[in-house]
Structure 1
Amino acid sequence: MKTLIKNANIITPYEIKRCSNLAIEDGKIADIFSGEIKDVDSYDEIIDAEGKYLSPGFIDLHNHGNFGHDAMEASYEALESMADFHIKNGITAYLATTMTEHPEKIRAAVKNIGEYIESGSNDSKVKSQVLGIYLEGPYFSMEKKGAQPPEYIKDPDLDEIKELIELSKNNIKVVAIAPELKGAKESIKYLKNEGITISAGHTNATFEEAKTGIDLGITQGTHLYNGMRSYSHREPGVVGAVLTDERVACEMICDGIHLHTGAMDLAVKMKGKEGIILISDAMMATGLQDGKYVLGGQDVYVKEGAARLEDGTLAGSTLTLNKAVYNMVHMVNVPLNDAVRMASLNPAKAIGMDDRKGSIEIGKDADLIIFDEDIKVSKALIKGKIKEIK
């Protein structure tokens, strides 16, 4: 099967190729070229991008749910619904993200996601791909718990971590841990040896404690600034550590609610285009109206798009990654190709899948989206299979 996408402004990690064409063969990117198309008859399908942008599909590493569903439901139906909503917003792949909850609920969710991935779900349907699991909790600091239910927060338990990895069928890609906790060092060492990304999250770590965790294997910071000890000029804390250490990439929720534009601008200046990972941290209210929802067994009230617990604590977001990319361009003045990189190649690198995902480069999976100046997605492709977005 050969497909041609013509008349596109193609966003690569390095530039935007104006008025160019892209060829797909057997689900892979086969060629990128400009000028005259000489072998039109050799293509089975031709798509006219009409001068819009052709971008790698976005990869949302950290999201709990959308459109009334949550990964903690532990059902195929929830994951299918989430995948259908994701693709409409340009997210061609995601990590199903769990939450601090009763241990049995976490086990059930992890087992369900692992089985869903291994089954391949309904491969004939064009929808977002679940690349793995992001384990957010329960190994967190009580002081920086945020919207994580306090009754289930605990120190890292290596035996439990091993059990969850087995239940997931080795599909856990990211584990968030507060590095200052008892048992954290041993857990970080083990996870690193297993090739699993470790993220410093919901942590009250000092600068030195955070640096020790980074030396042991932490390479990511969970939703930067949020759920972290605040920066001080005398104790920079975990924020200072992750911002200044080039070994660490920082997740960022660019919704205009979780972070001030100045804080986002500072992070971009510190980390550069390669060190920021745009995430949604979306919960089940995403794509729905304001109202009362649930996250981690707790009531969440969404008003004007902001999701909060009854006490006012932020509880995830209602953001989508296409909107996050738009906000990075228009709120933080990041060039479009760099903002796209933060939502595609950087997350793919973070979980070691950039050899086949995350950018428009010859030989990679044809996971692509077409969007306009407002990042409104009109078409999505998963390994070359096309879905019209209405």
Structure 2
Amino acid sequence: MPGRRAAGLGSSLPGGDRLTAEPTVLTGARVVLPDGVVDGGRITVEGRSIVADDPRRPAAARDLSGHWIVPGFVDIHVHGGGGASFSADRAEDILTGVGTHRRHGTTTMVASTVTGELDDLARQAALLSELVEQGDLAGIHFEGPFISPHRCGAHKPSLLRDPHPSDVRKLIDAARGTAKMVTLAPELPGGLDSVRLLAEHGVIAAVGHTDAAYEATLEAIEAGATVATHLFNAMPTLLHRQPGPVAALLEDERVTVELVNDGVHLHPAVLELAFRSAGAGRVAFITDAMDAAGFGDGRYLLGPMEVDVTDGVARLVEGGSIAGSTLTLDTAFKRAVTVDGIPVTDAVRALSVNPARLLGVYDRVGSLEPGKDADLVVLNEAYDLVGVMRRGQWVVEP
């Protein structure tokens, strides 16, 4: 976007910028706080944190009149970006994807893998866990291989397997405490036992890429499943006599539903139906982004599968299935407010509050409150991103 300049991205990314040497006050903007919108609000940043405002204390002031300040976005389902995959075997490539999404406002993200051999996924988890431990990622999400061959989407069918608890445990152990979520099809052999295993180990069990009936989905929720992986996509259609997983996942207040708000994965009317049905407190907007996000059209690999990206839409070369997205969360935010008619405060819940709570990190991120990390996004009046701060550093300086 013209008129912006990118600053350093943090400890492990190249070109790290300095932390603010003295408190900085951001003034004049419309600030979205947990209890509503404050016109002409003030956010005081000291070091990496938001601190209580003290007008008597000397501080550098930054006038952001005519702008919005919202919490940094939290993405619980993203595979890569900037031409790089989170399944790469080099930390530098993974950090390229991290940096791309940070510049689009995602200050907290979980790295999603793609179906592969168990040993390969375990090796990927070992590398990703190092980046979690040093603060670049918030955790690991295994999407596959424990999914239905009938709803595999852009996952290679020959690499799929049933979710036997021993195999699920192997990936959890490989992640060394950094596994946050596993997507599986609960109707497969071992599915319910694996959901229980994940719940016992504090890992989110997500229902997705599934052919489960309504009743089987209810069983999975009772066993501990709490997320619907990209609701509607890669699962049976909602029918009046066969409601399938969609109805079960929408109706249960314990379930957070992922929605890909790119105008491709879901018709706007379907997105509105899901948002209104679940309510603003149970929606997490995700990108499901692959390498092309923030990079451009071309030929890519998603795991072992070849993908063509044309006009920003990613599809498998063989078969034409949608293969993730090229979405970034700043675009999802703007679309939610300007196209879908979602109030700004509800969009903030779907992009920041809800996913932070789901990950168990709401004590540090997800809202603009004293004591939390200074993770925030600055938007202009048209809801275009013009600034990003992460942990007190400008990633994109307005």
Q: Deviations over 1:197-242 (max 9, x none)?
A: 1110100110000000000101110001001111111111100101
Summarize the Cα distance change of 1:237–1:73 in structure 2 as closer, same or farther, 3 Å threshold. Answer: same
Distance 1:334 1:74 in 2: 39
Instruction: Say if 2:151 and 2:211, in contact at 8 Å, map to a contact too.
Output: yes
| Aligned match of 2:118 | 103
| Aligned match of 1:86 | 101
Distance 1:58 1:38 in 2: 28
- Are 1:262 and 2:269 an aligned pair? yes
Distance 1:342 1:351 in 2: 13
Q: 2:62 aligns with which of 34, 44, 47?
A: 47
- Are 1:347 and 2:351 an aligned pair? no
| Aligned match of 2:33 | 12
Unpaired runs of 5+ residues, structure 1, are: 121-128
One-letter amino acid of the counterpart of residue 336, structure 2: M
CA RMSD of aligned residues (A): 1.5
Q: Give runs of aligned pairs for residues 37-186 of structure 1, distance below 5 A.
A: 38-39=55-56, 41=58, 43=59, 45-120=60-135, 129-186=136-193
Q: 2:224 aligns with which of 210, 217, 220?
A: 217
- Are 1:373 and 2:381 an aligned pair? yes
Unpaired runs of 5+ residues, structure 2, are: 1-21
Distance 2:382 2:92 in 1: 31
One-letter amino acid of the counterpart of residue 5, structure 1: L
Name the count of aligned residue pairs. 376
Instruction: Say if 1:3 and 1:384, in contact at 8 Å, map to a contact too.
Output: no
Distance 2:333 2:280 in 1: 13
Equivalent residue of 1:301, what SS? Answer: strand
Q: TM-score, normalised by structure 1?
A: 0.93
| Aligned match of 1:125 | none
Q: 2:343 aligns with which of 335, 340, 346?
A: 335
Equivalent residue of 1:16, what SS? Answer: strand
Identity of aligned residues (%): 35
| Aligned match of 2:198 | 191
| Aligned match of 2:371 | 363
Distance 2:121 2:38 in 1: 45
Distance 1:227 1:104 in 2: 25
Structure 1 runs of 4+ aligned residues shifted over 6 Å read none
| Aligned match of 1:126 | none
Distance 2:285 2:55 in 1: 39
**C-alpha displacement of 1:40:** 5.2
Instruction: Say if 1:292 and 1:301, in contact at 8 Å, map to a contact too.
Output: yes
Q: TM-score, normalised by structure 2?
A: 0.91
Q: 1:320 aligns with which of 319, 328, 340?
A: 328
Instruction: Say if 2:111 and 2:141, in contact at 8 Å, map to a contact too.
Output: yes
Equivalent residue of 2:87, what SS? Answer: helix
Distance 2:197 2:214 in 1: 22
Instruction: Say if 2:118 and 2:171, in contact at 8 Å, map to a contact too.
Output: no
**C-alpha displacement of 1:23:** 1.4
Distance 1:166 1:47 in 2: 46
Moved more, 164-173 or 371-380: 371-380
Distance 2:383 2:159 in 1: 39
**C-alpha displacement of 1:53:** 0.8
| Aligned match of 2:246 | 239
Distance 2:81 2:356 in 1: 21
Instruction: Say if 2:334 and 2:384, in contact at 8 Å, map to a contact too.
Output: no
| Aligned match of 2:18 | none
Distance 1:84 1:234 in 2: 46
Distance 2:381 2:199 in 1: 40
Moved more, 358-367 or 246-255: 358-367
Distance 2:363 2:38 in 1: 21
Equivalent residue of 1:229, what SS? Answer: coil
Equivalent residue of 2:172, what SS? Answer: helix
